[in-house]
Amino acid sequence: MARPKAALRVAVVGATGMVGRELVALLERRRFPAAELRPFSSGRARFSVRFKGRSIPAPAVDFRALAACDLVFLVSSETVARRLAPSLARRGVWVIDDSSEFRLDPKVPLVIPEVNAAALDIHKRLIAGPNCTMTGLAVAGWPLHKVARIRELRIASYQAVSGAGRSALGEFFAQTRVLARRLDFAPDGRAPLFPVPHPRALPRAIAGNVFPQVGSFDAAGYSGEENKVASELRKVWGAPGLRVSVTAVRVPVVRGHALAVWLGFARPLSPARARRLLERAPGLELSQEGGYPTPLDTAGRVPVRAGRLRAGVDSKELALWVVSDNLLKGAALNSVQIAEFLWRRAWLRRDATS
């Protein structure tokens, strides 16, 4: 189907946040056909964004201005998504929401284009983007799942501070400066205990520390992040019976989520065959044997990266290390890729019906 000739009016709500700025930069860098960009701040209008050499003010959200657009990216809170997304979609606006508000709604597609682009439907104009931790695993595990059917996953995630937002990063940097000033060792070689600023954005101090809590705990002892990863992965893969056990850990890393994953299959799958499958997987870069990616060398890079592929406890288990940029593929890039798919299908028109 031919692409529409008319250029698009595109809005970004939350354009001044970390993910929003990445998204605006991607629209320019990937030459998305936005004739007009309308950036909005989720809160007070104090900032502007750069787009195609111009500084564009980002005012507070204006629903009428959003309703006049062809495509709206929501990179804001669940509250903002709940207030705006359904009404805009009913008016024919395409809405790609990066919050968790609609991810598990059975009427809303939850989409990672390399995995389940077929879930996109011209009649469903509200689309949910996935959890940033789950995305890398979904891309890396999908080629293996299609061949040998993954029945069980055990996951330990090591999640960057930027996943908790700008205030958490500020807290991390402030604590790190305090630690650097006080890092003097006692004569016997033991490091003394020293206080850091009291945490507010995160549940514990993060500088020089790790803790197994990302989100609030439920009655069963699972954190919000752990539940999101399990539930969303089942939906994206179309595998409601998938058994998933997750421990989500916050680590003192600025950018890039890493996961140690053990995959249990219905059928035997050798490391050699799995390597061949992963080397051809879209959106994935597999390290050579003996190599592995890290958050530091993955930050700012587009593909999901994986390494340390090896046998597990038997012929039906493999172990894998997965790293992805939580602000790119985990959020902004995935949303832009969805929009690019809609553009290629010539769906980004108000009058498009098939």
User: Which residues are catalytically annotated?
Assistant: 132, 257
Cβ proximity of 322 and 137 under 8 Å: yes
Beta strand segments in 227-324, E: 243-250, 257-265, 284-286, 304-311, 317-324
Of 169, 168, 190, 191, whose CA–CA distance to 180 is shortest? Answer: 191
Classify residue 233 as exposed, middle or buried by CB count within 10 Å of its CB (0-12, 13-18, 19+). buried
Report the distance separating Cα 82 and Cα 65, nearest Å. 18
Write out the DSSP string of 172-223: HHHHHHHHHHH----TTSPPPP---PPPSSSSS--TT--BS-SS-B-TTS-B
Cα separation values, 275 from 151, 180, 285, 307, Å: 19, 42, 11, 10
Q: What is the DSSP string of 70-127?
A: SEEEE-S-HHHHHHHHHHHHHTT-EEEE-SSTTTT-TTS-B--HHHHGGG--TT--EE
- For residue 166, give the H/E element and its range: helix 166-182
Give the bridge partners for 96, in sequence order. 73, 127
Burial (CB < 10 A; 0-12, 13-18, 19+), residue 198, is exposed
Q: CA nearest 206: which of 176, 185, 246, 247? A: 176
Instruction: State the sign of the Cα–Cα–Cα–Cα dihedral 288, 292, 296, 298.
Output: positive
Q: Are 319 and 308 in contact (CB under 8 A)?
A: yes
Closest CA to 70 of 19, 33, 40, 23: 33
The three-state secondary structure class of 250 is strand
